[in-house]
Amino acid sequence: MNLIDTHTHLYLEQFSEDRDIIIQNAINQGVNRMLLPAIDSTTFDSMTSLSEKYPDNCFPMIGLHPTSVKDNYEEELTLVENELSKGGYIGIGEIGIDLYWDKTHAEEQKDALTRQLRWAKKHKLPVAIHTRDSFNEVYNIVKNEKTDDLIGVFHCFTGSLSEAYRIMDIGFSMGIGGIVTFKNAGLAEVVSSLPIESMVLETDAPFLTPAPHRGKRNESSYLNFIAMKMAEVLGMDMMSIIENTTNNATKLFKL
């Protein structure tokens, strides 16, 4: 098997006790490549160290997470811009707008998103987009900035069928994670009507753990449970799900 976890935060402190074991578990389960979206300067060193330790398995992105857009966001964006000029990143992320926790810096979040989308076009890198209570705000900005050089994924997609079609209309993919395995989430019903070409798989570890491990810490090896659910929902065999989503991720992130 050759699965790609397109969104996993294995560098976070939740894995400080057993990170190497967790990564080996993933590789043993066929999850050979794990893409690491950035958060902010406080996690930059740990993310970089992990990608340097596992250059064939862990691939870093650079970006400013919307919940980290605070009064000092200009300094944080400077770090992102400087790192982009150095190269070595497979994407810009995770970026977006989050109006769930705090709306204090909503305008700054929009500014940060717009600027990072423009950097993505400049550097010809895909973007990993975070939306929470903000789909219309994010979508309108992305659509306004859309050119042939702007591609990416709406990470942790949990939206409606109409939102899915809007995402596909601008040539973006959807990241499907553990929520598709939740009984009452409604995501499986939406996914069942979508073309496999529009989706990539992700865990968002250590968050959003799929069934049957829901409630525990998530890890990249659990991507298999998401793939199994996708096979059930789409009426495809497991190997077809893996082959298609791996091809989608490989193409999107130029792996």
Q: What's the pLDDT tens digit per position in 158-176?
A: 999 999 999 999 999 999 9
Show me where the domains of the chain are located: 3-252
SS3 197: helix
pLDDT in tens, 170-217: 999 999 999 999 999 999 999 999 999 999 999 999 999 999 999 999
Per the CB < 8 A criterion, the answer to whether 116 and 127 are in contact is yes
Per the CB < 8 A criterion, the answer to whether 220 and 33 are in contact is no
The pLDDT score that the predictor gives to residue 101 is: 83
**How many angstroms separate the CA atoms of 59 and 47, rounded?**
9
Determine the length of the chain. 255
Amino acid (1-letter code) at residue 220? S
Class at the top of the CATH hierarchy for domain 3-252: alpha beta
Rounded mean pLDDT of 8-35? 98
